Amino acid sequence: MSTTPEGFEHHYADVNGVRLHYVAGGTGVPLVLLPGWPRTWWQYHKMMPALARRYRVIVCDLRGMGESSKPAAGYDKKNMARDIYELVSSLGHERVYIAGEDVGSWVAYNFAANFPDATIKAAFWGPGAPDEVLRRFPVVPRPGELSGWHLSFNALDELPEKLLAGRYRLLIDWYIDKLSDNPAAFDETTRAIYAAAYDSPEAIRAVAGWYGTLAEDIDEAATHTKLTMPVLVPDGDLMSFSRASNEHRATDIRFVQIPGAGHYLAEERPDELVRELLAFFG
């Protein structure tokens, strides 16, 4: 359904007990991009050509996402970071730039924390590190206050796939309209790609794996020492959330707010995000 950006090719790799799908193109220092929920590698399609002019861009469907396999277990973010580490190692890369949004940001943070020698610089946003702030989302929010209901819903056993299998487009559209400041940035092709990727019970159970391990991820992250490589945290309207999640995580950290942007920076504001990543990674 999707059109692969010019100069990019699809690949698969068997690493850490999982088969990962990734799309790669360009030349230079490797830059790994990790997508979030409820999206796939396609999240970065607007950014990939510009970044490929400077880097070897590797955009990976996470364990359980898109065309990657969907095993029954292994969804804690430390293990998902090992998936990515073994992938880049299998490609012959000793050190990489890494960036991630949403669920991909949890994995990108864990990559930097657990494989610092392989991380040149890291960027993550929306929110970044799995942090105690996630536990403080209100169950009964005030008008206009952000609710984290999906953190619990997505982790439920069996119910999400019974409700949403074959109907995931409803959730895709609802979240885009609620959390994006520019829903028009998501065209019909994009919305259909994401709905198709998550419509199966198997895919929805994989989402439950990501969110069902989140309490474990938060506890694990609390034991980490501060990152010492340079870190960038861009964000839009939710910058206060990303700042609270990450300001104590690194010794060299830079926050950049993109005014007027919602949750989905890579698709809402791809040009500004490319500009910030190019300036940061160099």
Catalytic residues: 102, 211, 263
DSSP H helices, 43-148, are 48-52, 77-90, 103-114
CA distance 121 to 233: 11
Q: Is the peptide bond before 35 cis (omega within 30 degrees of 0)?
A: no
**24 within 8 A of 11, measured Cβ to Cβ:** yes
DSSP H helices, the chain, are 48-52, 77-90, 103-114, 149-153, 159-164, 168-179, 188-198, 201-212, 214-221, 239-246, 265-268, 270-281
Taking alpha carbons only, the member of 143, 187, 194 closest to residue 170 is 194
